[in-house]
Amino acid sequence: MKKRGIKGDNMKERLHPLQLSILIMMIQNGLVLYSLPRITAEYFGTNGWLSIIFIFVLVNINLMMIAIIYKLGKGRSIFEIIEASVPKWVMVPIYLFIICVWIGIASMIMSEYIFIFKLMFLPAFPDSLLIILFTLISFQLLRGGIYKIAKATVVLFFFVELMIFLVFYLFPEFDFARFTTFFFKGETDYFKGALHLYSAFLGIEVSILFFPMVEKKWTKALFIGNFISTVIYFIILFLSYGFFSFDQILNDKYPVMTLFEYTEVPFLTRAENLCFCVFAFKVLSTIVIYYWGAQQIFGNIIKSIKPDFWILIILASGFILAMVPDTLVDVEMWLKWLSYCAIGIAWALPIFVLCILFFQILKNRFSRETDHAN
């Protein structure tokens, strides 16, 4: 009887808005941060750091659609909403596509981090051992479910975000003279640049699966988490443009890593190494939430199979995919195309669900009017 009571309490557990804000911020693909100044300079030109504001607005529109779905759907999961109007067998190919993209993007983010880690610290270290380490930790978190993932993410948050305070040691070298009076001038490509910048916010789209697991009035947490991420991105971009010249940013693959190399802290000799190692926690959060999202969709397709089985399938697939690329260039190519697909899912899925909801609302209204007339 005691065990049943514990289980019942766990079933009633809901994600607190504060947990969700931190979770949203931690699951966004922060690894893009290291090359963000170069991306903004390359695709948006001079004073490209301002472009993050426009992407922030786009991401908020994306989040607004998810919030509207939750309100109109009255807290129902998207699977209930979709399958009330569309047969499941029609949706299975779409579900499988989303699963493949999410597992792929998680495995490529893991591979990218491992390749950069090896480049910095252990060039001869086997990739497979680091992939196994990430996979084992992911397995433990996934078995605990979204509530334990959220709690673990809150703890990891304090390790990761404390690193942002190191940038204050760069202020003595900051110079407004390095900024230019020209805005968005140079060899620009706004569309490609927007896609690259948007990839830094990816991870938020998985929040569309949170509906049955959250407290009421939770949607503000989405916007708060995204706002915190944007503020961090903005600070790093602004400092980079005031610390380096425009040409230096263009010619540096990872300007933020170089930025931390110049950080002189009395109690720390190699700030960039510590920051990148601690950043593994944020990478892990992104990987786990994508795997969790894939697990939820698998579980909806075939409900009779235990969740642990899907966890093993997902982790095995992610492990195999992570082993495929041989170089960092290959990983970046994979990640680019998978990010494009993930951006498409982030917009297409909410729009699709909203269309179904409006159809259901109109149908219900028509039925009520017909019944009233009779």
DSSP string, 159-204: HHHGGGGGGGGGGGG--GGGS-S--S-SS--HHHHHHHHHGGGTTG
For the chain, give the percent of residues with pLDDT over 70: 93
pLDDT, residue 172, reads 74
pLDDT, residue 358, reads 92
**Structure tokens that stand for 344 in this block:** 């498409």
The answer to whether 134 and 198 are in contact (CB under 8 A) is no
- Assigned domain for 5 exists: no
Query: pTM of the full predicted structure?
Result: 0.91
pLDDT, residue 217, reads 80
**CATH value at residue 292:** 1.20.1740.10
- Assigned domain for 307 exists: yes
pLDDT, residue 81, reads 92
pLDDT per position as a tens digit, 209-225: 998 888 878 889 999 99
- Assigned domain for 2 exists: no
> Among 132-141, 345-354, 364-373, which stretch is predicted with the lowest mean pLDDT?
364-373
Task: List CB contacts of 224: < 8 A, sequence separation 6 or more.
Answer: 17, 21, 24
- Assigned domain for 153 exists: yes
pLDDT at 96 over 90: yes
Rounded to 10 degrees, the C-alpha dihedral 201/205/206/212 comes to: 130
- Assigned domain for 1 exists: no
Range of the domain at 273: 15-373
Most confident of the following: 12-21, 258-267, 344-353: 344-353
Mean pLDDT of the region 65-92: 91
The answer to whether 103 and 298 are in contact (CB under 8 A) is no
Mean pLDDT of the region 48-67: 93
pLDDT per position as a tens digit, 334-362: 999 999 999 999 999 999 999 999 998 88
pLDDT at 126 over 90: no
3-state secondary structure of 150: helix
pLDDT, residue 4, reads 40
**Structure tokens that stand for 143 in this block:** 């078995």
pLDDT at 370 over 80: no
Segments in 189-270 forming alpha helices (H): 190-198, 219-243, 246-250, 255-261
d(CA 283, CA 53): 24
d(CA 329, CA 116): 11
pLDDT, residue 267, reads 61
- Assigned domain for 4 exists: no
pLDDT at 205 over 80: yes
pLDDT at 5 over 60: no
List C-alpha distances in Å: 316 to 87, 93, 110, 187: 29, 21, 14, 42
Domain tally for the chain?
1
Helices 51-72 and 328-373, interaxial angle, to 10°?
Answer: 40
Tell me which residue has tokens 């980079």. 240
Mean pLDDT of the region 172-186: 75
d(CA 264, CA 102): 39
pLDDT, residue 268, reads 63
pLDDT, residue 31, reads 84
d(CA 300, CA 213): 15
> Among 78-87, 211-220, 258-267, 315-324, which stretch is predicted with the lowest mean pLDDT?
258-267
Mean pLDDT of the region 26-32: 83
pLDDT-derived band of residue 45, with 50, 70 and 90 as boundaries? confident
Question: Which residues are paired to 265 by β-bridges?
Answer: 268
pLDDT, residue 194, reads 92
pLDDT, residue 12, reads 55
- Assigned domain for 327 exists: yes
The answer to whether 79 and 300 are in contact (CB under 8 A) is yes
3-state secondary structure of 228: helix
Q: Which residues of 15-47 are buried (b: 16+ CB within 10 A; e: fewer)?
A: bbbebbbbbbbbbbbbbbbbbbbbbbbbbbbbb
pLDDT at 2 over 60: no
Q: How many residues are listed for the chain in this entry?
A: 374
- Assigned domain for 90 exists: yes
Question: Any idea what DSSP says for residue 302?
Answer: -
